Amino acid sequence: MTKIHKYLLNREVSLKENTLWFTMGTLCSSATSVLLMVYVTHLLGVDEAGVYSIAYSIAQLMLTIGWFGTRQFQVSDVEEEYSFSDYFTMKIITSCVALLGGLIYALILHLNAHKFMITFLYCSFIVCDIFADLFSARFQQEDRLYLSGISYILRIGGYNVIFLVSLFIFRSLFISISLAFIYSLMELVVFDYPFIKRMSDLKVHFDIKKIMNLFKNCFPLFISSFVSTFIVNIPKNAIELNLSSSIQTYYNIIFMPSSIVNMFCMFIFVPMYTQIAKKWHEDDKKSFIKVVQKVFLIAILFSVFVFVGCALLGIPFLELLYGVTLDGYKTPFLILIGAGCLTSLNSILSYIMTVMRKQQFILYIYIVALVVSQVCIQFLITRFGLVGASIDYLIGMLCITMFMFVIFIKTLNQKSKRSYK
């Protein structure tokens, strides 16, 4: 362990600084998906950006398999019912399954040799994210969340620079992703590993019973994440099977702002969640409804502001950012922004349902939305092309919103009846 490692490990850090470092690291991670796409589109053009887009989408779905929802469970395992070696062994298994899943997924989409190779390479690349999440959870267990933030900044910031420079020099996705992968792996070994070695007994430990129990405990968290990510991928899969790589690029460009809308929305609403939970558990229905109405009103006003802003400036901004012409793409863009606003509302509703202890319905709702979206996609994309793909995503989000809202109203009425009795 170097002097820098010792200094960082032993320094006293306040809760505010802990949170600040982690937030900076998380923002760095969130910005990466946009930045890498910008690099590829500018330097390699829309066709190769389409190759990158489908590889990225498949890798993100496989990442949910690799993570397997263990983050929340591991962090909450304060009694260390499962050792770090158990989690480490589990991640080796899920990483292998994610790599195999990426290959199978690529075969199902009938990717050509070039796309197949880039997809497998990107799935290998995200293995670093799988273990980075494992290490980050351990840092959080030890109340050293700032180490996660520093690690994210070093690793993600570093491979962004390497990806950009190598892409500029070699004009090759294969070389750029390979170099970014090597750097990301080195960062984990050089920076993260010495801390983990000091905090934990790091070894492969195949206790079949404990590993199976760990999979069982984390499965509900995993399947929810997998299904929600798969819904996002349904239009992208259909585009890959029915349209061209350039259309895949345009779809991902106009889709990106809708995902950012949800991220910014969470920054606004997360501080209000504690208040919502408190009012519900105090049986203060009037105050609870007042807080929820306030949250919904802000969400609606924020959505209207975003929608109008995107309608006026969205396409010109994206054209400037990505260096492409988006004539004729305003309609699907605004449909996706509308879906993004619904996604933000769904995030709020899912939290409220959790507060009401109706979270068991969330997975069923997402599965229904997945089925509806999958049933509709082929007709919509063959009939309306990219507009159809955007409508399909909107339908999926609308299904989730409607079902969640129905359960919310029904639960609220049931509580009123109990209070009346």
220, amino acid identity: P
Write down the pTM of the prediction: 0.88
268: number of Cβ within 10 Å: 13
Structural domain boundaries in the chain: 1-216, 243-421
The pLDDT profile of the chain, 421 residues, written as one tens digit per residue, is 677 877 777 777 777 787 788 778 877 877 888 889 999 999 999 999 999 999 999 999 999 999 998 887 888 787 788 888 899 999 999 999 999 999 999 999 999 999 999 999 999 999 999 999 999 889 888 888 889 889 999 999 999 999 999 999 999 999 999 999 999 999 999 999 998 888 877 777 778 889 999 999 888 878 888 998 999 999 999 999 999 889 999 999 999 888 777 777 766 666 666 678 788 888 777 888 888 888 888 888 888 998 999 999 999 999 999 999 999 999 999 999 999 999 988 888 888 887 887 878 888 999 999 999 999 999 999 999 999 999 999 999 999 999 999 999 998 888 666 654 4
